[in-house]
Amino acid sequence: MLTLGVFTIYFTVLLGIDRLVRKDFNLVRGMELGLLSSMSSCDSKLNPTISLFQRARRVKLNTLFAPEHGLHAALQDQVAAPDTLYGKDLPVRSMYGKERKPSRDALKKVDAIVIDLLDIGTRYYTFVWSAMLMIKEAAAAGKRIFLLDRPNPLNGLTVQGPLIEDGFESFVGLYSIPVRHGMTIGEICMMLSHQNGIGADLRVVKLQSWRRDTYFDENRLEWTIPSPNMPHFMTALVYPGMCLLEGTNVSEGRGTTRPFETFGAPWIDPRRLVCELDKRSIRGIELRVTWFVPTFHKYRGELCGGVQIHVKNRHRFDPLICGLEIIQTIMQLYPKRFSWRQPPYEFEKEKMPFDILIGNSWVRKEIEAGTSIKKISRRWMTELRKFNTVRKKYLLYS
């Protein structure tokens, strides 16, 4: 996108899969391939990457690998998926079941691995960690990896939130990066592979005509739902902060048509909550009183008093600050009803779910102590600046 006076010019972004198709799959011809993807990964004409590989000449699709939410992107969060078949004879190996990495036997059957996944630009979203586990195991097996790049839907400039402290690594954060990293999946996988000594033969099929300052809806691309509770771009916009509610007993809106944009609980008075949140002057949003009945997950079938977030200025909006302000406000309004979610969560059996999401235990303790969110956020700024210095070395786009 380019703005000239009152005119806005939108560029057509070519995805990694688009560029591979245009070159007639020349990078992977004659290879037995493993493909880590799901049916939500499509080219710019909405053809699934999986189907494009099946139809390609001189390309042999040997094995499919599926991330969380399964091959069809239909399973709810934290639902394990079994190995299965696609069609009559194409094996599908789950990377969100008994194992979260590919088996050595599966890797022995392929010459190279192709990865095409929709990252949401937020550390908690597990696709980048499935990609990294695949890269690590493929590197150990001596396999070449081709990663088909995609835009960061939250833009490629904004970096927010704390990094992960030692001991708080998990499947919602295997390596220490900020909550909002401002990188494409190709850039972040290249960085993590290099910085952690993985030594992968990783080749990124780059985007064409993508600008770092653009959000997803400025790129003439269609949103294809990567998981049941990520129905559109606006969900991704609030997700970096509102996913933190998973670490509490407050509903993050799962089981509604507006997950993460809507939140609440049966014991919340939404008018009172909106009044208190307005006093905190959260930038870039307006809050609306609402009620909802979740069809699954927390408070299934119960009427919840809640709030819907309407983002009015995405450039001023800090989703992480918003999420933390909401949690602290609810805790202070309802000290006897609010509680932190207990483990297990995302394969972690000991540490608090909120702690592995935020990447430490001190943020939770500061929230409990009543420390202002503004003061809390200042504490992670030094490490964020250090990350930005490292990050710049791996940026592929201007």
Residue 12 has a pLDDT of 85
Domain edges within the chain? 2-227, 233-360
* 3-class secondary structure, 42: strand
70 Cβ neighbours under 8 A, 6+ residues apart? 38, 79, 81, 94, 96
Asked if the domains at 2-227 and 233-360 fall in one CATH topology, the answer is no
φ, ψ of residue 90 in degrees (nearest 5): -90, 110
CB atoms within 10 A of CB 292: 22
233-360 maps to which CATH number?
Answer: 3.90.1150.140
The closest alpha carbon to 357, from 195, 172, 201, 208, belongs to 172
Hey, is 195 helix, strand or coil?
helix
pLDDT digits (tens, 9 = 90+) for 122-138: 999 999 999 999 999 99
| 340: Cα within 13 Å, side-chain hemisphere | 18
Longest dimension (CA), the chain: 64
| pLDDT tens track for 252-272 | 999 999 999 999 999 999 999
- Residue 10: the pLDDT is 55
pLDDT at 54: 95
| pLDDT given at position 305 | 98
List, for residues 180-199, the tens digit of each pLDDT value. Answer: 999 999 999 999 999 999 99
Tokens representing 219 are: 């790129």
d(CA 384, CA 245): 23
Would you state the pLDDT for residue 1?
52
pLDDT band of residue 34 (cuts 50, 70, 90) is very high
Q: What is the pLDDT of residue 98?
A: 86
The dihedral through the CA atoms of 343, 175, 181, 97 has a sign that is negative
Q: Indicate whether 4 pLDDT > 60.
A: no
Name the CATH superfamily, with its identifier, for domain 2-227.
Answer: Uncharacterised protein PF07075, DUF1343 (3.40.50.12170)
Q: Contact at 8 Å (CB) between 349 and 342?
A: no
Overall pTM > 0.85: yes
